């Protein structure tokens, strides 16, 4: 994307957390119009009111992104109103946070739908317009869990591994087709938000939300292919690739304590 000035941005799950901070920072970087999709209508209304009072052009839509009919109708209404999305931030996500044997079938389906399938469907709706205009940027918020297995988050890991594979494949297709559409895959460690409340990390500090949001904006501006946070995670694919599985388990589990990080997880109140 490089030049954020004057763009229209759509952020899913944008009424709180990283989604909200990223939207705010994109406006500060020069974006002209922010569109927020979120399932929490109360939080959405409060954010839209506050940001309009601050002089920003912002629209909010209460939507369940797992409902394809809702997604398609919302995309149609935006197109009818002349809202052409330049930057799509697929941010909405959930985590159940318990061992796989304790997951219900609904836990599995909903996690995969929100974290993986919904971003694909939404991108499929908006991508033709980006390609036709010869510009655009799709930002997919994956996770470090898309690179490493972890007890207590098996389905979440599965959803983020799938997101990572799809996102980078999409990037290659956009580049091969010389479409002008950029794709960035964001893979952060635990972020200090309500989503990961209770998580304990032995050696790697939890990421500060503001730092992550600013890094995402910089990645959009710089057309980054992959953004891993913290930078130490850039070594993870290499280390995981060269070490035998049991040795890697010892490093990640015993030394860094990653495999015990979800033992105290509480998450957001349900």
pLDDT per position as a tens digit, 223-248: 999 999 999 999 999 999 999 999 99
pLDDT at 269: 66
Mean pLDDT value across residues 137-165:
97
Annotated domain spans of the chain: 8-260
| Residue partners of 108: CB distance under 8 A and separation at least 6 | 155
Q: Are 85 and 130 in contact (CB under 8 A)?
A: yes
Q: Give yes or no: 190 in active site.
A: no
- Asked whether residue 270 carries a pLDDT value surpassing 70, the answer given is no
Q: Answer whether 0.85 is exceeded by the pTM.
A: yes
The single residue of 156, 189, 190, 259 carrying the catalytic annotation is 156
Question: In the CATH hierarchy, which fold is given to the domain comprising 8-260?
Answer: Rossmann fold (3.40.50)
Q: What is the C-alpha to C-alpha distance for residues 245 and 233, in angstroms, rounded to an integer? A: 18
Name the residue with tokens 């794709």.
183
User: What is the distance between the alpha carbons of residues 192 and 214, in angstroms, rounded to a whole number?
Assistant: 15
Distance CA 86, CA 219 (A): 15
């Amino acid at each position: 994307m490089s030049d954020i000035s004057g763009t229209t941005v759509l952020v899913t799950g944008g009424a709180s957390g990283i989604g909200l901070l990223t939207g705010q920072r994109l406006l500060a970087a020069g974006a002209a119009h922010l569109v927020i999709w979120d399932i929490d209508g109360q939080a959405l209304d409060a954010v839209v009111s506050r940001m309009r009072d601050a002089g920003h052009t912002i629209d909010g839509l209460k939507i369940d992104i797992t409902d394809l009919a809702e997604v398609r109708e919302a995309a149609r209404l935006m197109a009818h109103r002349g809202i052409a999305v330049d930057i799509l931030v697929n941010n909405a996500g959930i985590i159940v946070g318990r061992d796989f044997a304790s997951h219900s079938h609904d836990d599995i389906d909903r996690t995969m739908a929100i974290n993986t399938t919904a971003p694909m469907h939404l991108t499929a709706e908006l991508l033709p317009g980006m390609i036709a205009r010869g510009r655009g940027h799709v930002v997919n918020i994956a996770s470090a869990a898309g690179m490493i297995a972890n007890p207590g988050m098996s389905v979440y890991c599965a959803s983020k591994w799938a997101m990572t594979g799809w996102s980078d494949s999409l990037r290659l297709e956009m580049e091969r087709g010389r479409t002008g559409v950029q794709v960035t895959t964001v893979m952060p460690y635990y972020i200090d938000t309500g989503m990961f409340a209770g998580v304990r990390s032995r050696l790697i500090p939890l990421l500060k939300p503001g730092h992550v949001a600013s890094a995402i904006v910089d990645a959009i501006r710089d057309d980054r292919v992959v953004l891993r946070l913290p930078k130490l995670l850039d070594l993870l694919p290499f280390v995981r690739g060269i070490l035998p599985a049991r040795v890697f388990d010892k490093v990640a589990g015993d030394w860094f304590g990653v495999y015990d990080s979800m033992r105290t997880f509480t998450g957001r109140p349900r």
